Amino acid sequence: MGEPLHNYENLVRAIEIFSEDFGFGFSSRRLTVSTSGLVPGIRRFIREGIRANLAVSLNAVNDELRSRLMPVNRRWNIEALLEACRQVPAENRYRITFEYVLMDGLTDSLEHAHKLVRLLLALVEAGSGRIGAITDQIALLCYHFDPTKGRYTLTIVRVLDAVIAVFLAACALFAWRFLRRRARAAALSMIPTTTGAASAVGEALAACGLAPLATRVERLDDADWVALTQRQFEPIRAGERLWIVPTWHAPPEPGAVNVILDPGAAFGTGSHPTTRLCLAWLEGNVRPGDAVLDYGCGSGILAICAMKLGAAQARAVDIDPLALEAARYNALRNNVRVAVIDARRAVPGGAHITVANILANPLRMLAPTLASHTQPGGSIALSGILEAQASEVIAAYEPWARLEASARDSGWVLLAGERSAEAC
C-alpha cells in the first residue's frame, strides 16, 4: 500500500475488511497504520475516528535532519506533525505510537536524546486534557553505519552506554508522566548485555529525579532468526497429490505435484482454510487444456497449481503491485508460464475455470466481472466466504451461475458452479 495515508480511501476499506465480521474479524485494537507523517491524512484519520492505532515515524528531533532522512518533512515539519497528533480526543481508545530509529553518528547523540525528551513532554503537557489518548509507547531501533556494506545495519551493540541511558531516561520520564495520571504506559528498549540494564535504568531515573519504577529485564539470546522463522512453515498437503513446499524444504513426496512457495507479503501460502479449499477444488476439476483465471491472485499459488495440474494456460490478476511481483517470482520458481496481469488493465476472457479467493463483499461486487471472464459452460469457484455469508454471494451470481457450497473448512465455505450459457 506504500504510504497508507496517501491511499486513504483504500486504507479505510482495508481496515474495514480486516476488522468487520464480513472480513477477517480482527480486533481493531490490534490494527496499526504506520505513516511517515502526512499531516492532512493524520488529521482526517483522527477527525473521522478511524478504528485503528496510528504509528508515526519521527526519527529525528529537528527539521533539518528529519528533512534529510524523510523528505515528507519538507512539506509538513515536526511542529505541524505534533500539532496534528494533539487533536486526538480524550475518549479515543486507540494509540498514537512514535517511532524513533537510532542511527549511529546521525540521530543518537546526547543532544538528540534531550531534544526528544523535550519534544514529547511538550506534546504531553499541551495535550494534558486528553493525555490517555496520545501515546503509551516509544519504539527504539538502533542502526550503525557498516563501511564494509556501505549502508546502515540494525544493531544493539554500537550505541554508547551514555546515550542508551539518556534514551531510557526519556522513556522513563515520558512513562512517568502517564503513570502519574493513571494512564497505561510502557517503555521498551533493546540494549547490549554489557551495559547492565538494571543499573542503567536506575541511573536514568535518578538523573531525572524520579522515584524508581517497576522494571523488567529479559535476556534475549542470539539465535539463528532465519531458521526460527522458517520452522514456522512446514510443507502443507493441499490435496490427494498436491503439496505446498517452502523453498528450504525437500518435498515430502518427490513424485507428487509439488508447488515451491516462499511465504511473503502477498496472501496465499496454502496455510489458510480458504486457500486449501481452492487448492483441493482445483485438484479435482482442472483438466488438460483448460484456461484458468486466478482473480485476486496474491502469491499466484492458485494459477501455479493449475498449471502444475495440467492446465494449458493460467492468468493471475491482482491490483496489488506486491502481489503481482510475488506471482511472477513464484511462477518462475516453479518453472511454469503464468500471465500476470494488473486488474486495472484489460483481462482476456474465455476462461474454462475462474477461481477467486478474496472476501465475500468484494466477490459480490465482482460478480459481473468474473462472470464475463468465464466462458459459457465453464466453472466458477469462489472462496474467502464465511458460511453465514454464502447465501448473499450465491444470490449475487444467480444471473450468471447457480453456485452451491462445494466444500467447507473451519467455518469457511467454497462455492462452485457452472457458468450459464446466457444470463438468467
The domain ranges of the chain are 4-222, 230-418
Please indicate whether residue 167 or residue 222 has the higher confidence score (pLDDT).
222
Cβ neighbour number for residue 384 with a 10 Å cutoff = 27
* Residue 30 DSSP symbol: G
Q: What percent of the chain has pLDDT over 90?
A: 40
Class of domain 4-222: alpha beta
All three cell numbers of 130, joined, read 486528553
Cβ neighbour number for residue 302 with a 10 Å cutoff = 31
Q: What is the pLDDT of residues 260-316, one digit of tens each?
A: 987 554 556 777 889 999 999 999 999 999 999 999 998 899 999 999 999 999 999
Q: Which of 111-120, 151-160, 165-174 is least confident?
A: 151-160
| Greatest CA separation for the chain | 80
pLDDT of residue 171: 56
Is 90 exceeded by the pLDDT of residue 13? Answer: no
Q: Which of 361, 238, 362 is nearest to 295 (CA)?
A: 362
All three cell numbers of 220, joined, read 534475549
Whether 230-418 and 4-222 are alike in CATH topology: the answer is no
Q: Which of 139, 91, 90 is nearest to 116 (CA)?
A: 139
Cβ neighbour number for residue 233 with a 10 Å cutoff = 19
Contacts of 408 (CB under 8 A, 6+ apart): 277, 387, 414
Architecture of domain 230-418: 3-Layer(aba) Sandwich (3.40)
Q: Return mean pLDDT, the chain.
A: 79
pLDDT of residue 132: 31
CA distances from 217 to 138, 173, 186, 192, 208 (A): 17, 18, 13, 12, 20
Range from 171-175, 340-344, 352-356 that averages highest in pLDDT = 352-356
Q: What is the mean pLDDT of residues 351-357?
A: 97
Please indicate whether residue 189 or residue 306 has the higher confidence score (pLDDT).
306
Spatial distance between the Cα atoms of 43 and 248, rounded to a whole number of angstroms: 45
Burial class of residue 286 in the structure, from the number of CB atoms within 10 Å of its CB (0-12 exposed, 13-18 middle, 19+ buried): buried
Spatial distance between the Cα atoms of 218 and 237, rounded to a whole number of angstroms: 38
Q: Which of 248, 295, 301 is nearest to 272 (CA)?
A: 301
H or E segment at 259?
strand 257-260
Phi-psi category of residue 317: left, alpha or beta, with phi > 0 → left and psi -120 to 50 → alpha: beta
Please indicate whether residue 47 or residue 165 has the higher confidence score (pLDDT).
47
Q: Which of 159, 108, 106, 167 is nearest to 138 (CA)?
A: 167
Q: What is the mean pLDDT of residues 324-329?
A: 90
pLDDT of residue 163: 47
Range from 21-30, 148-157, 315-324, 399-408 that averages highest in pLDDT = 399-408
Is 90 exceeded by the pLDDT of residue 203? Answer: no
97 contacts 139 by C-beta, under 8 angstroms: yes
pLDDT of residue 243: 94
Please indicate whether residue 403 or residue 211 has the higher confidence score (pLDDT).
403
Spatial distance between the Cα atoms of 279 and 237, rounded to a whole number of angstroms: 10
SS3 assignment, position 246: coil
Please indicate whether residue 419 or residue 32 has the higher confidence score (pLDDT).
419
112 contacts 61 by C-beta, under 8 angstroms: yes
User: Bridge-partner residues for 151, per DSSP?
Assistant: 146
